[in-house]
Structure 1
Amino acid sequence: MSDNIMEHIPALRAYARSLCGRAHDADDLVQETLLRAIEYADRYKPGSYMRAWLFTIMRNRFYTNVKKAARERTGGADCISGTPVSQPGQEWYLRHRELCDQLERMPAHYREALVLVSVLGESYIRAAEVMDCDIGTVKSRVNRARGILRKALEPEF
């Protein structure tokens, strides 16, 4: 695997989006992650798996931001600036939105495992390293997350 940070930005953006939900928050998180990686570049061991190292920085930064935001209430969830002006009518958009809504409702630890393994293509071992848990825990979370999505999104006849 390459030690070039630029190659990992698309995966970082996808992972950040799964953590944050909103695109501009995800972009901010990627930027914070990259700044943190540059700041602590001396701690990176050349030849180790940079993507997992960056994901770990991002995950830690995200949870730090969540704790900080809980202390600093800046605005309500019903703020008008966060709602779109008009929704497109395409079926694919609606299905995608339905999937995203279900992902947001899912417990964070299930969502995180599912995104790392199923969306970003990380191995169970790498996901376990990023999430700092056992591989069996990751497999269980991915399986449960898939079950939650299957049950929520299956058509009712």
Structure 2
Amino acid sequence: MSDRDTVCEALPALLPRLRRMARALAGNAADADDLVQLALERALARADQWRPDGRVDAWVFGILRNAWRDELRARARKQAVFVAEEAGLSVGEAGVERHVEALSVAEAMARLPPEQREAVALVLVEGMRYAEAAHVLGVPEGTVTSRLSRARAALRDWLGQE
């Protein structure tokens, strides 16, 4: 089996995790879907760059993260957004109380600096080990630990939890 085949086989199973990470980074479903699509396109186009000694998920999460950073830089230049958040969200079947709580958490996550939000998304949402997250983020494991500690403290303060 070629490296390209390995990458192609792994991508469908990664979709839910990629979407969660993209949602944590982007803050809304429309931008998250665009981000996942872009990351998948890049992964497929560059499948020959994946190293068999590495994990496909970590490699694709790195692509997703870099694509988001590219988007942030482009937005800063253009001063534009994909879609207004209100245009893409629907309440769904959740009760009002759960919806308000979810919005509060989403708003608190959006207030975190990007570095902390990435660490939270990878470790707390995706369940990656600190070492794996550090590899994806390209930082030492202690930096991930520090970012998570600061993010947890900020989220507790903003969400009024003890």
| Common fold: TM-score over 0.5 | yes
Distance 1:10 1:90 in 2: 25
Whether contact under 8 Å (2:91, 2:99) holds in the other structure is no
Matched, 1:61 2:57: no
Tell me the amino acid that sits aligned with residue 36 of structure 2: V
Residue of structure 2 aligned with 1:45, choices 51, 61, 66: 51
Q: Which has the higher helix share?
A: 2
The one-character-per-residue Cα deviations of 1:103-135 (angstroms, maximum 9, x if unpaired) are: 101111111111110111011011001111010
* Consecutive unaligned residues in structure 2, runs of 5 or more: 1-5
Segments of 4+ in structure 1 off by > 6 A? Answer: 83-89
Shift of 1:56: 0.4
Whether contact under 8 Å (2:30, 2:88) holds in the other structure is no
Distance 1:150 1:58 in 2: 27
Matched, 1:150 2:156: yes
List aligned pairs for 1:3-152, cutoff 5 A: 3=7, 4-74=10-80, 82=87, 90-152=96-158
Whether contact under 8 Å (2:28, 2:88) holds in the other structure is no
Tell me the amino acid that sits aligned with residue 21 of structure 2: Y
- Pairwise CA RMSD: 2.6
Whether contact under 8 Å (2:108, 2:158) holds in the other structure is yes
Aligned residues: 154
Decide whether aligned partners of structure 1 residues 74 and 102 sit closer, same or farther in structure 2, where only a CA change above 3 A counts: closer
Distance 2:64 2:137 in 1: 11
The one-character-per-residue Cα deviations of 1:43-91 (angstroms, maximum 9, x if unpaired) are: 112352111100100111111111112212346x9x6964869898611
Tell me the amino acid that sits aligned with residue 122 of structure 1: M
Decide whether aligned partners of structure 1 residues 118 and 67 sit closer, same or farther in structure 2, where only a CA change above 3 A counts: same
TM-score, reference length from structure 1: 0.87
SS at match of 1:58: helix
TM-score, reference length from structure 2: 0.84
* Consecutive unaligned residues in structure 1, runs of 5 or more: none
Decide whether aligned partners of structure 1 residues 89 and 8 sit closer, same or farther in structure 2, where only a CA change above 3 A counts: closer
